Amino acid sequence: MNKLSGFILAPAIKYLFVTAGVLLMTACADSRIVTLETSVKQLQNLSDDDRDGVVKAREKCPKTTIGAAIDNHGCGTQTAAIKPFKIKVNFENNSAEVPLAAFAEIQSLADFLAKYPEITLLIEGHSSKIGSAKFNKKLSSDRAKAVASMLVSDFQIDQSRISSIGYGFERLAVTGESEQAHAENRRIMAEISHTEYIDDLKWTIYTVDLTD
């Protein structure tokens, strides 16, 4: 490079450095400082305690059954189903003593009554045709009372919910004079029909169509 070229390039290089410095300082001076806003306080309760997909702030039907089909307010539809419950306890001849074999069945009846405290119960006592009508009427009544007393004393069912009646041999379950027929007729009976409302469940890929 000759002296003339060096003399021309030197001012040009100096100009480039000055320009770059000015641009850098200008960029730094123009940098904007971003100020973060304070977080917004959540005023509504967005929890979903019953896990039905509807937040508590909008929930009108709490404690929805998991998997139930619900609307925007967490309320679903229900189907009424009749739930029958019956027991039958057989007694020994001329006896109103509740047999030990009947304990489990009476306990099931007590559990049902405890689950549905609005239900009242009538216990029917029956007898075979052996003996007089007067004797069997009282015997069948004593059998019904024995079971009613067990529900009250052993299972703490309120006495006001239990009533009993004796029919003697007015309502035979089995006709005939065989020992088997007589044994079948020495009984108490209790029958309940209770309407239970069951949640309609929403369809999933695991739903089984039982109508096919």
pLDDT at 192: 84
CATH 3.30.1330.60 holds for 78-199: yes
Q: How far apart are CA 148 and CA 159, in angstroms?
A: 8
**Which 3 state secondary structure label does DSSP give 14?**
helix
Single pTM value for the model: 0.57
Q: How far apart are CA 46 and CA 81, in angstroms?
A: 34
Residues of the chain with pLDDT under 50: 3-7, 211-212
Q: Position of tokens 């405290």?
A: 117
Q: How far apart are CA 121 and CA 138, in angstroms?
A: 20
pLDDT at 193: 72
pLDDT at 7: 47
pLDDT at 61: 74
Q: Which 8-state DSSP code applies to residue 94?
A: T
Q: How far apart are CA 189 and CA 126, in angstroms?
A: 8
pLDDT at 60: 65
CB 200 within 8 A of CB 76: yes
- State the chain's mean pLDDT as an integer: 78
**Cβ neighbours for 168, distance < 8 A, ≥ 6 positions apart:** 126, 127, 133, 136, 137, 139, 140
46: its two tokens: 């967005």
